[in-house]
Chain A
Amino acid sequence: MIERSFSSLAWLTFKDLSGHRTYRLSLLAVLLIPWFLMVPASLFLIDMGKVLLDMLFTGLHGWLFAYIFFIATPMIARDIELGIANIFLTLPMRRTTYYGARFIGLLGGMIPLFTLYLLSSLLTIFWASHAWQGYIPNTLWLSGMEGMLLICLPYISLMGILFLIASRATGAAEISVFLVAVWILCWSIPPVLEALQHPDVLSKTSPWLVALLETVHQFLPDLTSSQISLRLAHELPLDIGQVLGYCAQHLSYTTLAWLTGAVLFIKRDLS
């Protein structure tokens, strides 16, 4: 049974989020963004559906990034830096309950944003397929929906990492620096490793650097999801094994990051 204090704090977190002006503006922005993205998509020749999906996926990456960096990070940083967490922990509340409820509350905050963005994107696709007949396949909305659901997973992992960092960090600056560093590494290491498979590049790179990159990569989640979104944008079928592997790795990574963070958080001093 879920603890009463867990559900109460998760709900309070969501309520707190919805009270922020940034969050309310984000709700409005995600409704409008897909319609604006039709403008660049209309510039292309044949694959306008593909370009529209590229734009919609990019928009999703953009607001998910913004949510984690500009809404979730400040909230968790304030909790630790200013001692808001102490108010909840002295109710009394177990640290794992606080840590879990905040995590679920912040993930829950993504749901209204995602739902609105998805609905607005689907409407955009339907409208575009009507307006650009012959250029947008009728089943594009299905790929779009699938892609958007899959793109969310790496950001859930990133949320897990945010909590892992916050479990030991002392404030906003520390959390932001480490999270940005992780994000940059997650973004750039997989393509660099891909490049290193090229014999020319490999011959010019020192072996210790390759080993270092491989090691770092093993500790970080694969945030790219690039091949999946590329195939979906072209309505190419996805290998079910690949999709399951992708989902499993992100959900496992999130759980692992959360659990590690919870263990560290239990043992830390809160000022």
Chain B
Amino acid sequence: MLVLALIIAWGRSTQSEVTHIMESGTWSESSVLWHKASAGSLPGLGADLAILNVFNIYAQVTSGKQSGETWKMALLDKLHIAQSLDPYFNDTYRLTEGLLAYEAGKFDKAIDILAASVPFLHQYEPLMVAAFIAHQDIHDQQLAASLARQAAMQPDAPPLALSYAAKLTSKAAGCRFAIAFLQARINVTPITYRQHILNKIKKIREGEACQQEIADSL
């Protein structure tokens, strides 16, 4: 018995470690449809498994077993699958920000995934992160301002989101656009936050650049 057990243990030890677990295939809408078909009643579990694969990919990358572009495509693929199977899953957006944007450097893809959360989550956070990536990493001020404005319009958006949206809008489209945006938000913002918005409008108006812009327009 012991000998047999030892033979089994030896046999297992000779097997090479699985390092090519990642598919290099690229994500497409139709491939996701097949993932949905195979998940059947369990799309939530399908998304969980895709996220577990993301962890696995990251573990391989940090241990130096994977390098180059393949793992980045695989990461993107898994995140897309997770999002399409369960678009409400917060972990997908957290990993998109942490791994796809900052580890893999796929900023534009990360923004796509984060922006697609809007109809499902109605949360400001993924959009805010997307705006920050657009502003900070791909330097697309128009996109950043647009995303930040969307973030500020979400029901859970704090005053900080409004300020950030106003700042990015001011930078991208001018202070008059930023003031118009803030004024539009006053009526739909809880009363406790209104004073904060009015202060922000006042601050933008008093700014040197804004005064110059208003003067130029006149």
Contacts and interface: CB of A to CB of B under 8 A. Distances in A.
Given A195-B30, A200-B29, A234-B88, A226 B45 contact: no
Given A46-B94, A54-B48, A226 B40 contact: yes
A199 B144 CA distance: 31
B37 A201 contact: no
Given A44-B91, A50-B89, A230-B86, A55 B45 contact: yes
A192 interface: yes
B48 A191 contact: no
A200 B33 CA distance: 11
A43 interface: yes
B93 to A, nearest CB: 9
B165 interface: no
Interface residues of B, number: 26
B153 to A, nearest CB: 20
B91 A226 contact: no
B33 A47 contact: no
A225 B39 CA distance: 12
A236 interface: yes
A254 B44 CA distance: 26
B91 A233 contact: no
A43 B56 CA distance: 11
A187 B55 CA distance: 28
B128 to A, nearest CB: 16
Nearest to A233: B44
Contacts of B41: 61, 151, 154, 187, 223-226, 229
A187 B38 CA distance: 8
B106 interface: no
Interface string A200-231: 11000000000000000000000111100111
A137 to B, nearest CB: 12
Nearest to A58: B45
Interface string A106-149: 00000000000000000000000000000000000000000000
A191 B90 contact: no
A57 B40 CA distance: 13
Contact of A198 (B33, B37, B89, B90): B33
B176 interface: no
Contacts of A18: none
Q: Is the interface of A mostly helix, strand, loop or mixed?
A: helix
Interface residues of A, number: 35
A161 interface: no
A157 B48 CA distance: 28
B95 interface: yes
Interface in A159-216: 187-188, 191-192, 194-195, 198, 200-201
Nearest to A187: B40
Contacts of B88: 50, 230-231, 234, 236
A195 B31 CA distance: 10
Interface string B76-108: 000000000010111100110000000000000
A2 interface: no
A85 B186 CA distance: 75
Interface in B19-67: 29-30, 33-34, 36-45, 47-48, 51-52, 55
A187 B52 CA distance: 24
Given A192-B37, A201-B33, 7 more contacts: A45-B95, A46-B94, A50-B89, A57-B44, A191-B36, A200-B30, A226-B44
28 contacts: A44-B48, A45-B94, A50-B89, A53-B44, A54-B45, A55-B48, A57-B44, A58-B45, A61-B42, A154-B41, A187-B40, A187-B41, A188-B37, A188-B40, A191-B33, A191-B37, A194-B33, A195-B36, A198-B29, A200-B30, A223-B40, A223-B41, A226-B39, A226-B44, A229-B42, A229-B44, A230-B43, A230-B86
